[in-house]
Amino acid sequence: MKANQMTSTLTISHLTKAFGGVKALSDVSLHVAAGERVALLGHNGAGKSTLMKIILGLIPSDSGEISICGTAPGEAAARAKVAYLPENATFHSALTGLEQITYYLRLRGEDTSGAMALLDKVGLGHAAKRRIGTYSKGMRQRVGLAQTLIGHPSLLVLDEPTSGLDPVSRRDFYELLDALAADGAAILLSSHALTEVEARTDRLLILSGGRMVATGSLPELRREAALPVSMHITAINGYDTDILATWPNAIRVGKELRLDCAQEDKLATLARIASFKGKVADIDVIPPSLEDIYGHFSRRDGQ
């Protein structure tokens, strides 16, 4: 933790933002270290995009502090170090992919001869000289991705980066991210899907109703949520009443009996089920799913 903060690329403390009296973010604190891949999860309206826009300096915060490599968001020095991929990236339809990337290279003061290589890197080399108006949604998203690779950014802010990408492109995308992180870039990406980001990020942040409700790696969040394990027992014909007698809370679903138990009781429960040898045909132990864990943290107040 301390080591992280020493090399922290992005540090946010006690950030608050309201739109006309409605709190969009309350007391949000987070940090992203150099080389770290952090996923920001939350429902629509949880405050993900607002948080990102504040980090980018597109909208001001009401209170709290933000530091990007020691500079304030929106300052020229900060903008030179931050790359952004908006949700559903759009570009002028009359420009070709090559012209668009060349423009972005010029704005960052980079050599424009690298434009083709960037487009090749995201698999758009073949379409570089076609108008963006003729591109599919996934291709536009890849133009957006190509421009985030310009000039070794220290921090990448990616809003739903894989929306519109097919599974193969997603895998390629995460490989690009891994390479960037290995080079020392800090990455903050938002997503709806926990299943997608869990294997490809170092840490998860869950926003709900403008509050940071959970932070940590997936095993940490799993422990903290302490959701029950589900045991699915298939009894040998006729013996299910014996099992129901032992666990009156079990629910019958089709031929199965379903039983929830706390994490710490898991082994003891299994041992008792094992004692029904000759009466139990099969047993499945189902740990809480990623969506269950996510749902546990992101459940909004009053729901």
Partner 1 sequence: MIARIFATAITEAHIARRNRWVLIAVVLMVVFSLVLSAVGSAPSGGLGADRLSITVASLTSLSVYLVPLVALLMSFDAVAGDVERGTLPLLLTYPVARWEVLAGKLVAHTGILIIALVTGYGAAALVALVSDPEAAAGLGALWRLTWTSTLLGATFLGIGYALSSLARRASGAAGLAIGLWLGLVVLYDLALLAAVVADNGGTFTTQVFPAALLANPADAFRLFNLTASQATAAASGIGAAAASITLWQSLLSVLLWPLIALGLATLAFRKVEA
Q: Which of 243, 228, 246 is nearest to 283 (CA)?
A: 243
- Least separation in angstroms between CB 73 and partner 1: 10
Q: Which is nearer to partner 1, 131 or 192 (CB)?
A: 131
Residue ranges in 41-80 that form contacts with partner 1 under rule CB under 8 A: 53, 56-59, 76, 79-80
Q: Which of 31, 68, 91, 298 binds partner 1 (CB under 8 A)?
A: 91
Using CB under 8 A as the binding rule, whether residue 106 contacts partner 1 is answered as yes
* Angle, in degrees to the nearest 10, between helices 137-148 and 167-182: 0
Q: What does the buried/exposed string (b/e) look like for 141-179 if buried means 16 or more CB atoms within 10 Å of the residue's CB?
A: bbbbbbbbbbeebbbbbbbbbbbbbeeebbebbbebbee
Q: Which stretch binds partner 1 (CB under 8 A): 62-70, 84-92, 200-208, 238-246?
A: 84-92
Phi/psi at 154 (5° precision): -80, -30
- Residue among 3, 94, 182, 253 that touches partner 1 (CB under 8 A): 94
Closer of 109 and 278 to partner 1 (Cβ): 109
CB neighbourhood size of 19 (10 A): 11
Over the window 259 to 288, marking each residue x when it contacts partner 1 by CB under 8 A and - when it does not, the resulting string is ------------------------------
**Binder of partner 1 out of 108, 170, 266, 272 (CB under 8 A):** 108
Q: Does 109 sit near partner 1 (CB under 8 A)?
A: yes
- Residue 99 contacts partner 1 per CB under 8 A: yes
Whose Cβ is closer to partner 1: residue 56's or residue 259's?
56
> Is residue 135 a contact point for partner 1 (CB under 8 A)?
no
Cβ closest to partner 1, residue 33 vs residue 52? 52
Half-sphere exposure of 204 (CA within 13 A, CB side): 26
Q: Which distant-in-sequence residues (6+ apart) come within 8 Å of 67 by Cβ?
A: 8, 10, 11, 12
90 touches partner 1 (CB under 8 A): yes
Neighbours of 211 (CB within 10 A): 18
Asked if 212 interacts with partner 1 (CB under 8 A), we say no
For residue 45 the two structure tokens come to: 């309206």
Contact residues for 89 (Cβ-Cβ < 8 A; gap 6+): 140, 141, 143, 144
The answer to whether residue 130 forms part of the interface with partner 1 (CB under 8 A) is: no
- Contact residues for partner 1, defined by CB under 8 A: 53, 56-59, 76, 79-80, 82-84, 86, 88-95, 99-100, 103-104, 106-109, 131, 144, 147
